[in-house]
Amino acid sequence: MVSQDLRAKYLGYLRFELSLSDNTCAAYLADVDKLLGWMEREALPLEQLDYSQLQHFVAQLYDLGIHPNSIARVISGVRSFGRWLELEGYVAADPTTLLEVPRKGRYLPTVLTTEEVDRIIEAARSRGGIEGLRNAAFIELLFSCGLRVSEACHLRFADTFLDEGYIRVLGKGSKQRLVPLSDSAIRELRRYLVHPDRPTPKRGEEEYIFLSARGKAISRITVFVYIKEAAAAAGVEKNISPHTFRHSFATALLEGGAGLQAIQLLLGHEDVATTEIYTHIDRTRLREQVERYHPRNQQPKD
């Protein structure tokens, strides 16, 4: 049987050799655990794992009614595991080489209109008090800047330049990018930050912009809950999550005529490794893309 020690070594490979995030490591392990659990039930030793056995494993996933997109993700994780087994000499040849990923259906993400975003922000604000201001500012930042929810949750004062009109974002793989702030985002952030009822941060949490009522950096779960509540209160019946605002940001720019390269850069999809590289990017050109094409910058000034 496959030992827990082998599993731990694979986790170490993901974490230290590939430098994957904790969430990505957990996802890979969850996929591999499905295979290992099946092997245990079948009393199948590691050295007997071959392409034929893997076909039986995948067939079982289909029999369980798992969606092809989810099966494709599991196979992706299993193939990574197979490559590692060969690399470390546990098997003579990678048994997953010929394993095919099922064709995925086209996925069209949910997108919000600017009017729907406005209603959700107002519903969040109507919660009242400092939480209402915080939630409204957070949602505005997601929509105006296209941030991932984890990026917004961990936004720091040191990376926020309201007078200059941009933020520095730490994205996946510890890559940094500069993102212009719309006037709406600046206004919402200032309303929240200057409010006297903003919680006193706990020790070690002083650097974060968005705080929970207990003074700690706000969690993704908290954001997910209040966004769902605000959407329901606003009468928006679409199934949305914090990531929906990122999709809506990109869609608004694309439909407005912005170039794909600028959108990819703003979303953090470019292969940029260090902050120094960003200092050589023409920030004025990026700002012009957002100011010209994003609906938040096509509104009358206050």
**Residue 25 token pair:** 């490591």
Residue of 175, 246, 287, 296 marked catalytic: 246
- Choice among 168, 198, 228, 243 that is catalytic: 243
Please tell me which residue in 7, 127, 172, 283 is annotated as part of the active site: 172
| Cα 283 to Cα 180: distance, rounded to the nearest angstrom | 8
> Which residue out of 51, 191, 228, 278 is catalytically annotated?
278
Q: Mutual orientation of helices 242-256 and 114-125 as an angle, nearest 10°? A: 140
Q: What span, in angstroms and rounded, lies between the C-alpha atoms of 257 and 87?
A: 46
Which residue spans within the chain are E strands per DSSP?
Answer: 160-161, 166-170, 176-180
Q: Active site residue: 119, 148, 177, 287, which one?
A: 148
Distance, CA of 268 to CA of 32 (rounded, Å): 28
Cα-Cα end-to-end distance for the chain: 68
Q: Angle between the 22-41 and 51-63 helix axes, to the nearest 10 degrees?
A: 100
Active site residue 10: no
Could you tell me which residues are beta bridge partners of residue 169?
177
Specify whether 148 is catalytic: yes
Q: Going along 149-289, which residue ranges are E strands?
A: 160-161, 166-170, 176-180
Would the CA dihedral through 204, 154, 298, 178 be positive or negative? positive
285 given a catalytic annotation: no
3 state SS for 74-131 = HHHHHHHHHHHHHHCCCCCCCCCCCCCCCCCCCCCCCCCCHHHHHHHHHHHHCCCHHH
Active site residue 104: no
CA distance 80 to 75: 9
Q: What residues act catalytically?
A: 148, 172, 243, 246, 269, 278
